[in-house]
């Protein structure tokens, strides 16, 4: 779907009209509208796109995810399973993971949760026999699930609450012509603020992501009912915590999130503390967050890089650079974190110690 094909006009005009008619909108509504349009209309990944994810850096990433899942499945006595991926991008992670799983004797049917038509088309090239759903409701309910979500939760909408002299109030988005500006709403949220943040200094921001919690709870319900496990990888923190993490990325650079909605990737850091709490309340076991670098080393990225280098010596420098980018403390190794969730009775996934 192109901008011109939309009879209601370009996205900024549509958001501006909604604000003019009904007043400033919550940040979550702005972020949701912007990202739905953004992902629906392009493949944003890779050097010629807006950002590069771990599976696009090296095949080692998806292979190690696949081997971790195959190991877990093996220790769970090899039940029939489905592979499920949330927001699979170009399908690269899935293709690499499925190849590695196949070498370990695991060949599950593949189900992608994806709402972007543009990315579904890319995914179909990488994994032709996949099936697609818009949400977890469409995923089969008959067998255990092996679920992967890499850089999925960061793209889901957040709300921001701001501490003011009058108390905690919500950050909203207003507009002047088609210029969007963050403003502060009047409603006071103090009663729902966790006690440790009540006295935070003025200007402090507390983020929540209602859609992330809703999806996590739906996933938990399925894992409880069917068995299985989920591996969630993203940049984030063990929150809740004070901090403004909203960012917009376009052409591999940070841009203003309130300019050109729908033309940049809007994300926020993932509050793993809250996701883990939600999983445990539902009855799942939760492990992590562990830093991505330590996790990949535990899963064997060093020997995998060595083996790749032996079979393609001319690519030695590229392979070493990719390994360092995925694991280095100053690259993705510390900022990105991994959480595993399992149904009760399932083994502890590799990479989470014992
Ligand atoms: N996991 C991939 C892509 C990350 S980009 C990788 O690591 O390369 C985020 C992905 O989530 C995209 O595929 C995007 O279309 C999808 N996505 C974002 N919001 C979504 C939503 N609300 N429902 C389903 N998919 C969504």
Q: What is the pLDDT of residue 354?
A: 62
Q: Is 116 in the pocket of ligand 1 (CB under 6 A)?
A: yes
Q: Is 274 in the pocket of ligand 1 (CB under 6 A)?
A: no
Interatomic CA distance for residues 154 and 211, integer angstroms? 11
Q: What is the pLDDT of residue 9?
A: 84
- 54, pLDDT greater than 60: yes
Closest by CA position to 109, among listed 125, 129, 128, 92 = 129
Tell me the longest C-alpha to C-alpha distance in the chain.
64
Interatomic CA distance for residues 172 and 353, integer angstroms? 42
- How far does the centroid of ligand 1 lie from the alpha carbon of residue 267, in Å? 11
Where residue 204 falls (left for φ over 0; alpha for ψ -120 to 50; beta otherwise) is: beta
Mean per-residue pLDDT of the chain: 96
Summarised one tens digit per residue, pLDDT across range 100-140 is: 999 999 999 999 999 999 999 999 999 999 999 999 999 99
Q: What is the pLDDT of residue 177?
A: 74
Q: Is 119 in the pocket of ligand 1 (CB under 6 A)?
A: yes
Residue among 39, 49, 127 to mutate when testing ligand 1 (max atoms within 8 A of CB): 39
Closest by CA position to 242, among listed 196, 274, 278 = 196
Interatomic CA distance for residues 231 and 338, integer angstroms? 7
Closest by CA position to 53, among listed 125, 149, 177 = 149
Interatomic CA distance for residues 296 and 309, integer angstroms? 17
Residue among 54, 155, 231 to mutate when testing ligand 1 (max atoms within 8 A of CB): 155
Angle made by CA atoms 306, 307, 309, in degrees to the nearest 5? 65
Q: What is the pLDDT of residue 7?
A: 66
Residue among 90, 97, 116, 231 to mutate when testing ligand 1 (max atoms within 8 A of CB): 116
- 69, pLDDT greater than 80: yes
Q: Whose CA is nearest to atom 17 of ligand 1?
A: 87
pTM for the model = 0.96
Domains of the chain: 11-156+208-242+265-342 (3.40.50.12710)
Summarised one tens digit per residue, pLDDT across range 15-29 is: 999 999 999 999 999
Give the residue-averaged pLDDT of 267-278.
98
Interatomic CA distance for residues 231 and 101, integer angstroms? 15
- 5, pLDDT greater than 60: no
Summarised one tens digit per residue, pLDDT across range 296-335 is: 999 999 999 999 999 999 999 999 999 999 999 999 999 9
Looking at per-residue pLDDT, the higher value among 294 and 198 belongs to 294
Confidence of residue 8 (pLDDT cuts 50, 70, 90): confident
Rounded CA Rg of the chain:
21
């Amino acid at each position: 779907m192109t901008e011109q094909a939309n009879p209601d006009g370009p996205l900024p005009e549509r958001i501006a009209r909604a604000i003019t008619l009904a007043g400033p909108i919550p940040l979550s509504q702005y972020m949701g509208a912007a990202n739905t349009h953004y992902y629906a209309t392009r493949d944003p990944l890779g050097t010629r796109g807006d950002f590069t994810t771990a599976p696009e850096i090296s095949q080692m990433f998806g292979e190690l995810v696949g081997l971790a899942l195959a190991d877990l499945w093996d220790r769970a006595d090899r039940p029939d399973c489905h592979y499920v991926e949330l927001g699979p991008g170009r399908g690269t992670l899935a293709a690499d993971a499925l190849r590695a799983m196949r070498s370990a004797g695991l060949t599950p049917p593949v189900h992608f949760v994806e709402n972007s038509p543009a990315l579904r088309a890319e995914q179909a090239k990488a994994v032709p026999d996949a099936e697609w759903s818009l949400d977890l409701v469409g995923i089969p309910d008959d067998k255990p699930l092996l679920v992967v979500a890499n850089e999925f939760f960061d793209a889901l909408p957040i709300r921001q609450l701001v501490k003011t002299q009058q108390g905690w109030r919500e950050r909203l988005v207003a507009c002047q012509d088609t210029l969007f500006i963050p403003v502060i709403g009047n409603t006071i949220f103090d009663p729902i603020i966790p006690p440790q943040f009540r006295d935070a200094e003025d200007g402090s921001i507390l983020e929540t992501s209602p859609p992330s919690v809703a999806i996590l709870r739906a996933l938990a319900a399925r894992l409880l009912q069917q068995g299985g496990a989920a591996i969630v990888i993203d940049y984030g923190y063990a929150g809740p915590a004070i901090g403004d993490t909203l960012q917009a990325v376009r052409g591999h650079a940070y841009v203003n999130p309130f300019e050109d909605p729908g033309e940049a990737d809007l994300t926020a850091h993932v509050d793993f503390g809250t996701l883990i709490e939600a999983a445990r309340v539902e009855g799942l076991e939760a492990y992590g967050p562990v830093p991505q670098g330590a996790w990949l080393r535990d899963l064997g990225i060093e020997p995998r890089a060595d083996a790749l280098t032996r079979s393609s010596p001319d690519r030695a420098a590229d392979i070493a650079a990719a390994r360092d980018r995925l694991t280095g403390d100053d690259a993705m190794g510390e900022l990105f974190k991994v959480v595993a969730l399992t149904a009760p009775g399932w083994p502890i996934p590799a990479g989470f110690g014992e």
